[in-house]
Chains A and B, each alone.
Chain A
């Protein structure tokens, strides 16, 4: 029955090239001097350095968490280089000064940072290893009062905003990986959308790991002021390498009264080969605070890459009538492992949350949904709807679901649905009998399964996500 389904053909990772560029990399190892060096390179004020050091000192006392349903060898934090930057540093406001090799790299990744080749309606911040190399459409955004820049720049240029909000959603001692990130983060994006402004462009950051033996620790902070709206998308990729590389990011979102933030991720870090060699360890803390009344934060993620994924984008629903959403597609093929889900913390009255999670496991992939829905005492009439669907391709993979529910207010309404299905030979045969190839059949079945999530993505990226899903699963059936 499973003879055809089990055919394992390694699909070459299409973003696995290395850019040959002279870079400045600090030697591997982590101590306070390294943190001082990073802070100094970024030209940071004293308060920022103090914050980093506090985080680092906390991190030293924290144990690495191992409760997730993933297995990996020990990570040697002293073997990682915490800073790598292309040597030719452009001035960020002039694209002409960007190293052509970098422009070419992002071009190859399908991320044009040349404004003349702009993606329709999308402004891009391109982060290469530890630094932001270009941010497009800054002038156009500035007209609307929208700030979109590298976080290292924001720390220098908008210290009040950064000081007020940085660490206010994910404190520096929140968890092991967030503490590490708070100590050593190098770059990432900063967004501020002023009161009543609907951001006229999709904002997008593309993260690229290039240098060897480095970790990537980016930090993103998005603030949507009262009545504003912003849609933000991040994408990422890395070269093919035999070693594992660590990526520990933190994303913080703050939505004030009636503000809406839509945050979409297409995560395509190098997943390792079919034997599980190499690949990115992706340990990420993402959290949004719906601080204002009637505010809304919506997370959509399509996770196809990384050897290990550990991330739980969540919403703290503080404001009354605030809304949190989480739409997720996670794919694990070959030896990939994902432990991902969300946390919805209901504090305000009439708060609502929706969780739609689609896990797809193929090859020897292991896919875990882990989610927490917590209704606190004061959250009168809170509502949650959760749907967790798993799909299995072949018989050597696994799907796991750990939904945690903690309700402390009896007026809450909770709904939870779950399903597990298997792409069977019969389903594929049915499509083949109508003339479709096995690959097209799988792609169709999987895309149908993920439809509820894909429809949440901005149009251009939904197409990209569908394509990516097809590539990730290529060779998983014969």
Chain B
């Protein structure tokens, strides 16, 4: 299961080279290398505290993280030189591990603002409320969800699972080139994991790519990643096919951690 040959034809979308990053002066990423091509789905696994979420936040441009060394190219451009909103408008999407609530603003309003910010950036005409709702209804049908999410305030009073699903709804609507899902499957029941996975699969195209950060093998059974990486101690210590995930499920991370220390 290595991506049905897509990997051979895809263009390099994201290239991370020797990335080092700190938070509050503590070095979390200690030289990450990662290449993602269009058409691919990558999974990043690894023990708690290995730097998975830090990698996601750094790629999205969270101001609390400082990049101390290395380079990130996105479509050949210097991603780290771009402001977070610019990265988003250029097609980088992060499904947050802990999405925040915005009181009084409906999901529909928020999504339209986001869609229009991106459209403005592309020089495409903005969508009015009616056109947007029509386009949204289409999208909802494609991913098989009802519209009750739209009239609720962004993540306000949402359960953990609803928040995660809401991230996936945003992913579907914004249709990015590079989607990074930061433990979107954590805290979801089995059915919800399946729905999330199916959505990711449905959105998969030869011109986009996804990076899934996860602790669990379960979601990968639905998605079939092209590459599985193990991030440990701030570095990618092993990469392989889908089978690597299964191996991790059985053996845990300790054997890799030891390998990393030796290396």
- What does the 1/0 interface line of A67-102 toward B look like (CB < 8 Å)? 000000000000000000000000000000000000
Contact A436 B104, beta carbon cutoff 8 Å = no
Contact A429 B62, beta carbon cutoff 8 Å = yes
Contact B103 A429, beta carbon cutoff 8 Å = no
Contact B63 A3, beta carbon cutoff 8 Å = yes
Say yes or no for B206: interface residue by CB 8 A criterion. no
Q: Assuming A440-B117, A444-B113, is B105 touching A432 (CB within 8 A)? A: no
> Out of A430, A436, A451, which one reaches B100, CB within 8 Å?
A430
Say yes or no for A448: interface residue by CB 8 A criterion. yes
Say yes or no for B249: interface residue by CB 8 A criterion. no
Residue of B nearest to A1 (CB): B64
Q: Which chain B residues border A440 with CB–CB below 8 Å?
A: 113, 117
Residue of A nearest to B113 (CB): A436
Say yes or no for B174: interface residue by CB 8 A criterion. yes
Q: Assuming A432-B88, A437-B117, is B100 touching A426 (CB within 8 A)? A: yes
Say yes or no for B99: interface residue by CB 8 A criterion. yes
Interchain CA distance A427-B104 in the complex, whole Å:
14
Residue of B nearest to A425 (CB): B63
Contact A434 B117, beta carbon cutoff 8 Å = yes
Say yes or no for B102: interface residue by CB 8 A criterion. yes
Contact B104 A432, beta carbon cutoff 8 Å = no
Say yes or no for A447: interface residue by CB 8 A criterion. yes
> Out of A430, A435, A449, which one reaches B103, CB within 8 Å?
A449
Say yes or no for B202: interface residue by CB 8 A criterion. no
Say yes or no for A4: interface residue by CB 8 A criterion. yes
Say yes or no for A26: interface residue by CB 8 A criterion. no
Within 8 A of A (CB), among B161-176: 170, 174
Contact B63 A448, beta carbon cutoff 8 Å = no
Q: Which chain B residues border A463 with CB–CB below 8 Å?
A: none
Q: Which chain B residues border A451 with CB–CB below 8 Å?
A: 104-105
Contact B85 A448, beta carbon cutoff 8 Å = no
Contact A444 B85, beta carbon cutoff 8 Å = no
Say yes or no for A60: interface residue by CB 8 A criterion. no
Q: Assuming A3-B63, A449-B104, is B110 touching A444 (CB within 8 A)? A: yes
Interchain CA distance A182-B94 in the complex, whole Å:
61
Q: Which chain B residues border A1 with CB–CB below 8 Å?
A: 64
Contact A445 B105, beta carbon cutoff 8 Å = yes
| Count, chain B residues at interface, CB 8 A | 30
- What does the 1/0 interface line of B10-51 toward A look like (CB < 8 Å)? 000000000000000000000000000000000000000000
Interchain CA distance A437-B102 in the complex, whole Å:
15
Residue of A nearest to B99 (CB): A430
Say yes or no for B118: interface residue by CB 8 A criterion. yes
Interchain CA distance A438-B117 in the complex, whole Å:
12
Q: Which chain B residues border A429 with CB–CB below 8 Å?
A: 60, 62-63, 84
> Out of A4, A421, A427, A437, which one reaches B63, CB within 8 Å?
A4
Contact B102 A445, beta carbon cutoff 8 Å = yes
Residue positions of A touching B, CB distance < 8 A:
1, 3-4, 421, 424-427, 429-438, 440, 444-445, 447-452
Question: Could you list 24 A-B pairs, sorted by A, with CB under 8 Å?
Answer: A3-B63, A4-B63, A421-B103, A424-B100, A430-B100, A431-B110, A432-B84, A432-B85, A433-B60, A433-B87, A433-B88, A433-B96, A434-B110, A434-B113, A434-B114, A434-B174, A435-B89, A435-B114, A435-B117, A444-B105, A444-B110, A448-B102, A449-B104, A451-B104
- When A and B form their complex, which 7 residue pairs have the shortest distance between CB atoms, in order from nearest? A448-B104, A435-B117, A434-B114, A448-B105, A451-B104, A435-B88, A432-B84
Residue positions of B touching A, CB distance < 8 A:
60-64, 83-85, 87-89, 93-94, 96, 99-100, 102-105, 109-110, 113-114, 117-118, 121, 153, 170, 174
Contacts A433-B84, A437-B85 known; list 10 others, CB within 8 Å: A429-B63, A430-B96, A430-B100, A433-B93, A436-B85, A436-B113, A438-B85, A448-B103, A451-B105, A452-B104
